[in-house]
Structure 1
Amino acid sequence: MKYEAWTWKAVEGRILEMADTLRISPSVKGPKMFGNAMPEPVRRYDEAYGFHAARYQESASAASLSRMQQAWQWINALPSEADRKLIYAWSWVKVRKGMKLSRFAAENDMNDRMLRREITRICQQIANNLNQIMLVRLNNDDCSLSENQPDITSTTVSSEKCATHWIAPDGKPQVDPALAKSRVIKPREIRARHIA
């Protein structure tokens, strides 16, 4: 894996994934405020299972949950509280149904383009922070062994035969005389040996 610099678009995608993961995460359910905590019994035939259309509840994967926590760390590292609140609220509105982004922008005293510029600025600031952290990591003594080096492995075969770099120039490969003359896997003989 090679290092690629973070861009504002990649950061924005991670932030939207964070909000979507938070949206599909199960909410905390506590005891009922009143009445019995047991579910209602099925009383009518049309309330039985299978009468209504089937529903599927999406669940978050472990990888998306860990990326969500990572995105939270990025956002919480921002110095401006107003930027943090704006990016959290924008991402939450963006992944949910019901509210248009133009209405969200109007509630925050902006128009659509100004909101887009603010979100891009904040995402670029996060990307700059991530790239700065990565550049500091890549300035170590082991940079020559780092993952951002070009591919230096050979793509050609050194010889037409097998690799003989470990044999002396005048040497011959040693063959154990105890081995069978024909070195072919014979499954029937192997099975017969295991059964007996």
Structure 2
Amino acid sequence: MEKPDAPSCAKNREPILGVLRDHFADCRAVLEIGSGTGQHAIFFAGQLPHLTWQTSDCPENLPGIAVWLVDAALANTPAPLVFNVLETWPERRVDAVFSANTLHIMPWPAVERLFARLPEILSEQAKLVIYGPFNYGGAFTSTSNAAFDAWLKEKAAHQGIRDFEAVDALAGQAGLRLLEDRAMPSNNRCLVWQRTGA
């Protein structure tokens, strides 16, 4: 099959890499939730060879991810996992979790479930990095984000840009402390949390 292509990956991968270099320097095992095409995975795994980068997504996306992984032939990218946050979670511990452009696609109950179950897989002091658009104080940060939110809701009513405060509250309930909220291109953010307890 042809490799799936998400043009946004090429545009945002360098700024995200800067965040990962800062916060994943001492990490070893990363679980990427919602790997999409797999393009982020091979780029980050190639640039950060000290990490084992575990991709995961819904079954229909795994063949496309596998094509990218096989073509890149990196030693630190195992085969992708089938993973739906509302279903069975992998039985493993990781010291880093990464997810890009997923929270505004998932139904809100799935976002709640994601954070509620993270403590089951995060080791002590593990890091969580989430990339995507967020609202602050209940307001859009740009007209383009407002238009994007409207487009998302036209596609599916359960989709939409999430409020940073609501997401950070879920993280706090899961024992995660916000370390950084970094501005990204195209009115996106990179949010970094760390687990504070065992």
What is the TM-score normalised by the length of structure 2?
Answer: 0.21
Greater helix content: 1
In the superposition, the TM-score normalised over structure 1's length comes to 0.21
Name which structure has the greater RCO, CA cutoff 8 Å, separation 6+: 1
Q: State which structure, 1 or 2, has the greater radius of gyration over its C-alpha atoms.
A: 1
